[in-house]
Amino acid sequence: MFQRILIANRGEIALRVIRACQEMGIGTVAIFSEADRGAHYLDLADEAICIGPASSTDSYLKIEHIIAAAELGEAQAIHPGYGFLAENADFAEQCRDSDIEFIGPPHEAMRKLGDKVEARQIAIEAEVPVVPGSDGLITSDEEALRVANEIGYPILIKATAGGGGKGIRPAFDESMLLTELKAASAEAEKAFKNAGVYIEKFVQKPRHVEVQVIADQHGNVVHLWERDCTMQRKHQKLIEESPAPNLPLETRESICEAATRLIKNAGYYNAGTVEFIVDENNDYYFIEVNARIQVEHPVTEMVTGIDLIQQQIRVAAGEKLSFAQEEILCNGCSIEVRINAEDPDQNFRGCPGLIEDLRIPGGLGVRFDSHVYAGYTISPYYDSMIGKLIVHKPTREEAIACLLRALNEFQINGPGIKTTIPLAKKILNHPVFKSGQGDTKFVERTW
């Protein structure tokens, strides 16, 4: 086992990894940008190293600085968290070239799966259903028109390197397709330094269902059941839960088995998530693999009782999985709400600032994963997510009631600070959500 791990991230997930390491008796090296200097979670690490100025391109994305910090801090492994460099195959490769274990998949598998067009191909080879769409990248207007006519409008133009809900544009007819194609490609080039786009059928009223998988380096692959992340705004998840409501048992078993098959075929190890959309007939289609730990991993931890970060570390250290598929049970229901410091009245613009007062709810089955506290200043430089409130109860009905109760207790105040809590409460209170009948556009349509 590793003696020391460097955490190449910040905020909530950095603290989450520090906690896992401490419970395993592993030392930790935290890194921080000048904007995060003084944050309390850094005190919990054995060592904290400044890696650059506030701008993430000069700090949390600076590969050489992070590897130098790992060498300086004598860390044998790096946990990338999510976002930043977590899905950067060059980073994973450079860590291993520097004799530092990357706590994630092999960089070869990550490179293949990180490209959505290639990932689609891997899914097809593993006989996992994909959304009808182009065979590969779109190379001309004529090809785009031909593919769209074959599958029928509306369609989605998606960036092959896209992520975080960005780089997805709909087109409803031929003229829109041609203008959006150019815009999508230019946007993808700017955001992801890769102009490649492909086309998928725009599935109407889908649900987002994803499967958590973990594999060791000895060929063992298991799934930890599914999560439903249908409550989204602008393709970004707001509320996540496990198990998925209203998913027929047959579909559930089939989708989990498909995800495991795909991961096996890809030569993948460590934790990963296979994302699908499920249509109104409960037919499911692969959309992408997230080759990292996910924001919403706690709901899976709550229903299975398995600490996913600790498992990631064990797998990276070469251990065999200590459980078989049949031993992984899904107990009760867990729901997570992402708390973003955003102003719903200002088009969800981030609202950084000083938290003067913070009251965190508690009680049976309530978990709050966050690095913030009263006196913490939310930085304008990074993601607006400041924490995740998670509940675990025997039934979905009880979980919703508990989460609403906890959100009512939650107080966060400071000059100009607004959060997405009011929106989360509206969703949780809505009969469509309560009955598990929503689709991915439900939130945008309703509010």
Nearer to ligand ADP, 342 or 383 (CB): 383
Compute the distance between CA of residue 65 and CA of residue 34 in angstroms, rounded to an integer. Answer: 14
Q: Among ligand ADP, Mg ion, none, what binds residue 252 when CB lies within 5 to 8 Å by partner kind?
A: none
For ligand ADP, the binding residue among 383, 389, 390, 414 (CB under 6 A) is: 383
- Helix/strand/coil (H/E/C) assignment for every residue in the chain: CCCEEEECCCHHHHHHHHHHHHHCCCEEEEEEEHHHCCCHHHHHCCEEEEEECCCHHHCCCCHHHHHHHHHHCCCCEEECCCCCCCCCHHHHHHHHHCCCEECCCCHHHHHHHHCHHHHHHHHHHCCCCECCECCCCCCCHHHHHHHHHHHCCCEEEEEEEEECCEEEEEECCHHHHHHHHHHHHHHHHHHHCCCCEEEEECCCCCEEEEEEEEECCCCCEEEEEEEEEEEEECCEEEEEEECCCCCCHHHHHHHHHHHHHHHHHCCCCEEEEEEEEECCCCCEEEEEEECCCCCCHHHHHHHHCCCHHHHHHHHHCCCCCCCCHHHCCCCCEEEEEEEECEEHHHCCEECCEECCEEECCCCCCEEEECCCCCCCEECCCCCCEEEEEEEEECCHHHHHHHHHHHHHHCEEECCCCCCCHHHHHHHHHCHHHHCCCCCCCHHHHHC
For residue 27, give both structure tokens.
């030392």
For position 27 contacting ligand ADP by CB under 6 A, the verdict is: no
Looking at the chain, how many residues does it have? 447
Beta partners for 339? 387
The nearest distance, CB 367 to ligand ADP, in angstroms, is 17
For position 80 contacting ligand ADP by CB under 6 A, the verdict is: no
Q: Among Mg ion, ligand ADP, none, what binds residue 168 when CB lies within 5 to 8 Å by partner kind?
A: ligand ADP
For residue 218, give both structure tokens.
């000895």
Relative orientation angle of helices 174-192 and 141-151, to the nearest 10 degrees: 120
The nearest distance, CB 208 to ligand ADP, in angstroms, is 4
Q: Among Mg ion, ligand ADP, none, what binds residue 164 when CB lies within 5 to 8 Å by partner kind?
A: ligand ADP
For position 83 contacting ligand ADP by CB under 6 A, the verdict is: yes
- Interface mask (CB under 6 A) for ligand ADP, residues 260-279, using x and -? ---------------x-x--
For ligand ADP, the binding residue among 288, 307, 336, 369 (CB under 6 A) is: 288
Q: How many CB atoms lie within 10 A of CB 354?
A: 14
Nearer to Mg ion, 241 or 275 (CB): 275
The nearest distance, CB 218 to ligand ADP, in angstroms, is 27
Determine the residue with CB nearest ligand ADP.
Answer: 163
For residue 245, give both structure tokens.
């409501």
Annotation marks residue 367 as catalytic: no
Nearer to ligand ADP, 32 or 276 (CB): 276
The nearest distance, CB 133 to ligand ADP, in angstroms, is 7
The nearest distance, CB 384 to ligand ADP, in angstroms, is 9
Q: Among Mg ion, ligand ADP, none, what binds residue 336 when CB lies within 5 to 8 Å by partner kind?
A: none
The nearest distance, CB 207 to ligand ADP, in angstroms, is 9
Window of 283-291, 299-307, 328-336, 429-437 that interacts with ligand ADP by CB under 6 A: 283-291
For residue 25, give both structure tokens.
């008796």
Q: Which of the residues 195 through 234 are near ligand ADP (CB under 6 A)?
A: 200-203, 206, 208, 232
For ligand ADP, the binding residue among 59, 88, 251, 290 (CB under 6 A) is: 290
Q: Is the peptide bond before 154 cis (omega within 30 degrees of 0)?
A: yes
The nearest distance, CB 290 to ligand ADP, in angstroms, is 5
Q: Which of the residues 260 through 299 are near Mg ion (CB under 5 A)?
A: 275
Q: Among Mg ion, ligand ADP, none, what binds residue 235 when CB lies within 5 to 8 Å by partner kind?
A: ligand ADP
Q: Among ligand ADP, Mg ion, none, what binds residue 202 when CB lies within 5 to 8 Å by partner kind?
A: ligand ADP
Nearer to ligand ADP, 110 or 287 (CB): 287
For ligand ADP, the binding residue among 82, 225, 433, 442 (CB under 6 A) is: 82
Q: How many CB atoms lie within 10 A of CB 214?
A: 25
Q: Which of the residues 144 through 203 are near ligand ADP (CB under 6 A)?
A: 156, 162-165, 168, 200-203
Identified catalytic residue from 252, 292, 314, 338: 292
Which residues are catalytically annotated? Answer: 292
Site of interaction with Mg ion (CB under 5 A): 275
Site of interaction with ligand ADP (CB under 6 A): 82-83, 131, 156, 162-165, 168, 200-203, 206, 208, 232, 235-237, 275, 277, 287-288, 290, 294-296, 383, 440
